[in-house]
Structure 1
Amino acid sequence: MLERLQAVEDRYDFLNEQLSDPDVISDATKLREYSKEQSDIEETVQAYREYKEVTDQHREAKAMLEEKLDDEMHQMVKEELDELTERSEKLEERLKVLLLPKDPNDDKNVIVEVRGAAGGDEAQLFASDLYKMYHRYAEAQGWKTEVIEATATELGGYKEIIFMVNGAGAYSKLKYENGAHRVQRVPQTESGGRIHTSTATVAVLPEAEEVEIDIHEKDIRVDTFASSGPGGQSVNTTMSAVRLTHLPTNTVVSCQDEKSQIKNKEKAMKVLRARIYDKVQQEAQDEYAENRKVAVGTGDRSERIRTYNFPQSRVTDHRIGLTIQKLEQILQGKLDEIIDALIVEDQAENMQKAAE
């Protein structure tokens, strides 16, 4: 492990030199590439340097204990040695995590698609609750959200809502929300007070860069139409809404959120690119699982990943068996406790795989 860490530090120092080179500074592509690489490994390098410093202090303290010291000084050095041992062990565990292969999508912006599933009106109202939850969580993280497409219902729910989340590390946290979310509560439309179970699905797609997915204009059919709101009432009499169809994959995306046809097309193109990128990734994962005959977690969105139980104010994440009696706080966007637990579990699994 130490050899790998030293190699990472050497690479960091090399990149530091390159970023001061006038030839690199004048080359926008290289400058961006080197800056990103350095930023990606900076946390690992800082932790490794701290680890080396603590190791040196630990060695010095251990050597002092072997000298003739009075009782008071001996006790002080021993306490310092215990503290340094604890810090060293914690840093070592942190470095093991930092050396794990990083998901290449983690730093990307994301496109989130929330849809009401089983449960009719109640499922669509729950989809609205989930959108508000993610919107609040994104705000707390300092991320920006932007609605791309929404099909609202008369009761205030959503048949579907698609929105973008822009911010550093958005995918690294929101990717754990992929799947079917289940709600148990008495619906607004229920007069008998009976608890119903409904579901909404959440898909989290990393935004694909243009260089990653080669989409040709000739493969896209563009249709324009007038925007409309809930109940089919006309909102915009101009043909500003845009529907894109990617003919080779039959992927269809529409956007009518903006008054400008150009802006709607730009937004729709981002969603189209992300969906095709997700499809390519999914196919690669499926092939990997088939070849290795190992379930690698394909992100199957039919799986129920979490239950929101209103009568008991309880949220349960079934993947890690975590139950929290903080339903109201979670719906207010306070997702850190759940997402942090999922990240720790994911890291533990990856560390176990790396050790095999």
Structure 2
Amino acid sequence: MLSIHRGLRAVPRIQSYNRAWYSVAPPKSNAARREYLGQLERDGAKALKVIGKRVQQRARLVQQVDHSASDNEQIKIAKTLKELEPVQEAWDEWSRAREAFMQSLPLLDDPDPTMRAMASEEYSSQLATLGNIMSSTFPGLLVPRSRTERCGALLELKAGVGGAEAELFRAELSRTYVRSAQLRGWRVESDSIGESVEIHNDGAYDVFRWESGVHRVQRIPQTESNGRIHTSTVSVICLPLTQEDDSLDLGNILNEKDVRIEVMRSSGAGGQHVNKTESAVRLTHEPTGITVAMQDERSQHRNRAKAWRVLRARLLERALAADIVRRREMRRSVVRTSDRSDKIRTYNFPQDRVTDHRVGLTLSGLETIMNGERLEVLTNALQQAHDMELLDEMAESDELS
């Protein structure tokens, strides 16, 4: 099983980005036809198990409805029944589609060509319905809402191995993220060289968090005279941006008393302003040793505000990572987690393809991805893998309880 960011698993086939098999022509034998459904149910076994248990729970509660019980008990049962209604409806839809699918199988061999054509259409339609329920409806009902759904995103990009070529690709990748966010209508701020990109919209972190890791590019640099392909890397870190009063139920993320504040004169290129005023700000979070220095702006006030945002984002990312570790330990399972030094994606320009190694997904049309137009195909596949992992956790939790 492939490991990806924070222990994410490979996308099961039913969660795949390629659903062409839902609409393929029916095979000739009923055994092969049933195999499509069998594969669907095997890939989504965990989701079916959890949904089935929720349906059984609702059936038991329906039997417990008793006017002789206390009002508090009745209110609690009624509330739970209301919460489980969408699960029951989805299960009923699955059962109806499955029954219709099975009924269409013998009719595919009917001697009447009209009947065969109708059965073939019904077969493909119900198979597509079953696939959509398994890949979208069930996870949508079972996967809990993300605690970071109100977070913006802070992307930090650093050139790795490859010298000037790595730096060039870092700038290109930064533009990819800016363009992808703009296509969603989100507000984006980026520094002059693209090492830092801030996206100030709810949900941005949940979209771009899958970009954290090492991105590898393979191409022929413009300065290469012999036509050799060079390999360079760029490291990306995505941090959650939140409002100051939003702790995401992870405790007190930042206590200002724990932060040492220093102001100093800016350094480096910048004209007369450099070394003239104390506009640069450095914050040090003493409990963790995390340090943030900011001198992008000429105003100390703006540098200070940005430094606090970055410090809070790094502390929040640290808290989220620790929370995930605790959750995995509670499951008593050994899960290999990906360090940021692991290669997560390869951009191969000569072959015009991008491969995300965490889910084994390869896409052609590299230019459209670098333009930000199809980046969501990759992020959607990773989100689906994450959802399926949560379903696995829920199924295992039910087994332990």
Query: What is the CA–CA distance in structure 1 between the aligned matches of 2:342 and 2:227, rounded to whole Å?
Result: 28
Amino acid of the structure 1 residue aligned with 2:216 = R
Distance in 1 (CA, whole Å) between partners of 2:210 and 2:121 is 40
Structure 1 residues 18-29: aligned runs within 5 Å:
none
Q: Deviations over 1:292-314 (max 9, x none)?
A: 352163x5211100001112222
2: CA distance between counterparts of 1:324 and 1:95?
26
1:227–1:240 CA contact under 8 A, matched in 2: yes
Q: Aligned residue pairs: how many?
A: 299
**Residue 337 of structure 1: which of 377, 381, 386 is its match?**
377
Other-structure match for 2:231: 197
CA distance in 2, matches of 1:120, 1:200: 11
Answer whether contact 1:142 1:167 (CA < 8 A) is retained: no
Paired amino acid for 2:300: Q
Alignment partner, residue 65 of structure 2:
none
Per mean C-alpha deviation after superposition, the further-off stretch among 329-338 and 95-104 is 95-104
What aligned pairs does 1:1-356 form with structure 2 within 5 A after superposition? 1=51, 89=130, 92-93=133-134, 94-98=136-140, 99-147=142-190, 152=193, 161-210=195-244, 211-212=246-247, 213-227=252-266, 236=274, 237-289=276-328, 292-295=332-335, 297=337, 299-334=338-373, 335-356=375-396
Asked if the contact 2:178/2:197 (under 8 Å) is kept, the reply is no
Which string of whole-angstrom CA distances, capped at 9 and with x for unpartnered residues, describes residues 84-119 of structure 1?
967874674333111212331133111111111122
Shift of 1:245: 1.5
Distance 1:83-1:257 versus aligned 2 partners, 3 A rule: same
The whole-number CA distance in structure 2 between the counterparts of 1:187 and 1:203 is 25
Shift, 1:201, TM fit: 0.8
Task: State the Cα distance separating 1:219 from its structure 2 match.
Answer: 2.3
Paired AA for residue 97 in structure 1: P
TM-score normalised by length of structure 2: 0.62
CA 80–198 in structure 1, closer or farther in 2 if over 3 Å, else same: closer
CA distance in 2, matches of 1:47, 1:131: 41
**What amino acid is aligned across from residue 266 of structure 1 in structure 2?**
A
Q: Which runs of 5+ in 2 are unaligned?
A: 1-50, 59-82, 101-114, 397-401
In structure 2, distance between residues paired with 1:87 and 1:195: 43
Q: Which amino acid aligns with 1:101?
A: P
Contact 1:48 1:95 in 2 (8 A): no
- Aligned residue identity for 2:232: S
| Structure with the larger RCO, 1 or 2 (CA within 8 Å, 6+ apart) | 2
Query: How much has 1:250 moved relative to structure 2?
Result: 1.4
* Other structure's SS at 2:358 match: coil
- Aligned 8 A contact 2:253 2:315 in 1: no
Partner Cα distance (1:196, 1:78) in 2: 54
1:193/1:92 Cα in 2 relative to 1: closer, same or farther (>3 Å)?
Answer: closer
For structure 1, which segment, 254-263 or 116-125, has the greater mean C-alpha deviation from structure 2 after superposition?
254-263
- Structure 2 distance, partners of 1:209, 1:314, is 38
RMSD in angstroms over aligned alpha carbons?
4.0
**Percent identity of equivalent pairs:** 38
Q: 1:12 aligns to what?
A: none
Q: Are the structure 2 counterparts of residues 188 and 79 from structure 1 closer, same or farther at C-alpha, using a change threshold of 3 Å?
A: closer
CA separation in 1, counterparts of 2:236 and 2:147? Answer: 21
Instruction: Tell me how far 1:54 sits from its aligned partner.
Output: 6.8
